[in-house]
Amino acid sequence: MQILRDLVEEPLESALTDIGITQDFWRKALGPSREKSQGDISLPCFAFAKQLAMNPNDIAANLADKIKGNFSVEATGGYLNFKADADWLATQVMSGVVKAKTRDVLIEHTSANPNGPFHVGRARNAILGDTLVRLNRLYGNNVKAEYYVDDMGKQVGVLAWALDNLTEDQVDEILDDSEAVNPKWSDKKDHQIVRWYQAAQQLRSTSTDDSIEEEIGKLVHASEHGDDTVLAKFEEAYTPVLNGMLETLSRLGIEFDTFTKESKFVVDGSVSKLMDRMQQLEIHGEADNGAFFLDLGQRGLKGKTDFFYRRGDGSSLYATRDIAYHMWKWSQCDNLINILGEDHKLQAKQVGMTLQELGEKVPEVMFYAFIKLPEGKMSTRKGNVVFMDDLLEEAQAQAAAVVRNLRADLSDEEISGIAEAVGVSAVRYNIVKVSPDKGFTFRWEEALSFEGESAPFIMYSHTRACSIAKKVGRNASYPGLGEIPTAMFELLRTMACFSDKLRQSVVENKPHVFALYLLELATAYNAFYRDCHVIMDGSVNEFNFSISEKARSLLREGMIGIGIIPLETM
């Protein structure tokens, strides 16, 4: 609770000076209380014991006597506990918070190869990335959400070749219906066209005909040298697929501000300029066939230390283009964040070290572990996969069943609208609430849970507040302080941490911190709702109403920040 900390630091500092502590390290020790019942922030006094030759409890007691303010101070078990006064807290919370100063942040996320529909594994990137975008915006930053389109290289090459060379019948024959499209998505281009890609992949792995490989190789080679015609052909091949993928993301509430094509940096010459510069670096090396690399071992990289950035034929590699891309990205913003799967850790390290070697800044990277299924790794080929489109349909259907059951008064259309919002929010929240570095096993029953630690739990608290507001039928006007029962006090304490949690979440790139905080806020609101009625015997308690309204607006802002749709009724 930063606002309390700001209040406490000065008197605390002078009290510490009084007893002979002049070093500054107490500032680090002072932190949020672990026992919330004891206080909001605490100072453990154990570290002073030796220096003062006193026991920690006496030190704390001693300090407690010297400090006064709009808070209680108590010494317990060697801790000095500060707890904000209810009245002061209410005044602070009602007066609102100051937004942080704006920075230009570019967040690159998703950037999936445009070769097939999203499955829930690929979607972890999009959901985490978009949440970070939203949280940064809520924090006050000026954010650009960027999608890097992989429009060259082998994957698109295979897709383009297949669309040019295989008929629908041939595709059907090759795939032998082993991976039939869900009829529901038969008109959706990503589901449709991915079959050409899959058929081509199968053909490549089984065919003894070298000409296919040669043709694809030629295309890839041309694209990597910036051949306009081939790049145009590629674009024609992947665009409908990408659009299908974006449609899915859009249903999840995920949109992008800019799309940047990988080929841009080959075509505009920045990649070849970059390779020239890299060649001048101290740690540059050359292989027998003329390929270039950097010896990152000289800069402390362990394991495989040669980082190849140019092939023997002079063409660039994916990572090289990525470096050029990063240099361009830095020209767009003050702060750069990438969302990457843990499989990219080495690559990101190499890119980062090279950027450093070139005198460029290194981006922040948020890595996430893969999502797997209870049956094991997700694999389209083995049919062990859950498509996001299917998950969203199922979420909507199950949510609709719940709403229908609970709200007999609603029309089918209303039910469907609520169910869509509930389903999408639940799916997002299920992923965003866990720490990104944690391995994640997708389970239907967890993704579709609408109780407990879930989006609908938060949404429900919010609709309660909305329902009260609707019933009162006018805006709240803060009447000044009123009675503050325990449940309201606890709600105020939770609300007072909104900006702390938001800041932490943004500064540390940890969406789950804020996601879990919203759960606390909703829980605190539920207790307030239970104990502090706004409408009693037909008359409105203005103080309670204004607190409820404040909580409603924080819930709403927070939900938007985390990607939960703030329904007003459900």
Partner RNA sequence: GGACACGUGGCCCAGCUGGAUAAGGCGGCGGCCUCCUAAGCCGCAGAUCGCGGGUUCGAAUCCUGCCGUGUCCGCCA
Contacting RNA within 131-170 (CB under 7 A): 150, 152-155
Q: Which of 219, 254, 519, 547 binds RNA (CB under 7 A)?
A: 519
Using the rule CB under 7 A, is 14 a contact of RNA? no
Min. distance of Cβ 543 from RNA in angstroms? 13
Min. distance of Cβ 122 from RNA in angstroms? 13
**Which three-class secondary structure state does DSSP give residue 124?**
helix
Using the rule CB under 7 A, is 435 a contact of RNA? yes
Stretch 79-98 residues interacting with RNA (CB under 7 A): 79, 81
Nearest to residue 231, comparing CAs of 240, 241, 239, 223?
Answer: 223
Q: Which of 183, 300, 383, 452 binds RNA (CB under 7 A)?
A: 452
Using the rule CB under 7 A, is 345 a contact of RNA? yes
Nearest to residue 136, comparing CAs of 114, 167, 107?
Answer: 107
Using the rule CB under 7 A, is 416 a contact of RNA? no
Which helix (H) or strand (E) is 172 found in, with range? helix 168-175
Using the rule CB under 7 A, is 364 a contact of RNA? no
Min. distance of Cβ 18 from RNA in angstroms? 20
Identity of the residue, 77 or 269, whose beta carbon is nearer to RNA in the bound complex: 77
Q: At what angle do helices 511-531 and 455-472 cross, to 10 degrees?
A: 40
Cα 144 to the chain's mean position, in Å?
A: 14
CB 18: neighbour CB atoms within 10 A?
11
408-417 long-range contacts, Cβ below 8 Å, gap at least 24? none
Identity of the residue, 11 or 44, whose beta carbon is nearer to RNA in the bound complex: 44
Q: Which of 77, 96, 269, 480 binds RNA (CB under 7 A)?
A: 77
Q: Which of 209, 236, 343, 375 binds RNA (CB under 7 A)?
A: 343
Min. distance of Cβ 177 from RNA in angstroms? 28
Cα 205 from Cα 448, distance rounded (Å):
38
Region of 183-191, 323-331, 357-365, 396-404 interacting with RNA (CB under 7 A): 396-404
Identity of the residue, 28 or 101, whose beta carbon is nearer to RNA in the bound complex: 28
Q: Which of 20, 300, 303, 359 binds RNA (CB under 7 A)?
A: 303
**Which three-class secondary structure state does DSSP give residue 365?**
strand
Min. distance of Cβ 296 from RNA in angstroms? 12
Region of 15-23, 44-52, 381-389, 476-484 interacting with RNA (CB under 7 A): 44-52
Q: Which of 422, 432, 518, 547 binds RNA (CB under 7 A)?
A: 422
Cα 187 from Cα 287, distance rounded (Å):
49
Do 225 and 316 contact (CB within 8 A), yes or no?
Answer: no
Min. distance of Cβ 133 from RNA in angstroms? 20
Using the rule CB under 7 A, is 399 a contact of RNA? yes
Stretch 96-115 residues interacting with RNA (CB under 7 A): 113
Using the rule CB under 7 A, is 306 a contact of RNA? yes
Do 79 and 48 contact (CB within 8 A), yes or no?
Answer: no
Q: Which of 18, 173, 446, 483 binds RNA (CB under 7 A)?
A: 446
Sheet holding 142-149, edge to edge: 258-261, 142-149, 104-108, 335-341, 364-368
Number of residues that bind RNA (CB under 7 A): 98
Region of 29-37, 92-100, 166-174, 236-244 interacting with RNA (CB under 7 A): 29-37
Q: Which of 83, 326, 428, 464 binds RNA (CB under 7 A)?
A: 464
Q: Which of 34, 99, 273, 382 binds RNA (CB under 7 A)?
A: 34
- Burial grade of 174 (CB within 10 A; 0-12, 13-18, 19 or more): buried
**Which three-class secondary structure state does DSSP give residue 143?**
strand
**Which three-class secondary structure state does DSSP give residue 517?**
helix
Stretch 527-556 residues interacting with RNA (CB under 7 A): 527, 529-530, 532-535
| 378: CB partners within 8 A, 6+ apart | 119, 120, 121, 370, 371, 372, 384, 385, 386
Using the rule CB under 7 A, is 480 a contact of RNA? no
Per-residue HEC secondary structure of 55-97 comes to CHHHHHHHHHHHCCECEEEEEECCEEEEEECHHHHHHHHHHCC
Region of 183-191, 299-307, 386-394, 474-482 interacting with RNA (CB under 7 A): 299-307
Using the rule CB under 7 A, is 55 a contact of RNA? no
**Which three-class secondary structure state does DSSP give residue 262?**
coil
Min. distance of Cβ 29 from RNA in angstroms? 6
Do 514 and 561 contact (CB within 8 A), yes or no?
Answer: yes
Stretch 489-518 residues interacting with RNA (CB under 7 A): 510, 512-513, 516
Cα 570 from Cα 73, distance rounded (Å):
43
Nearest to residue 380, comparing CAs of 200, 116, 171?
Answer: 116
Identity of the residue, 198 or 449, whose beta carbon is nearer to RNA in the bound complex: 449
Using the rule CB under 7 A, is 370 a contact of RNA? yes
| 337: CB partners within 8 A, 6+ apart | 105, 106, 107, 108, 132, 363, 364, 365, 366, 509
Stretch 222-281 residues interacting with RNA (CB under 7 A): 224, 262
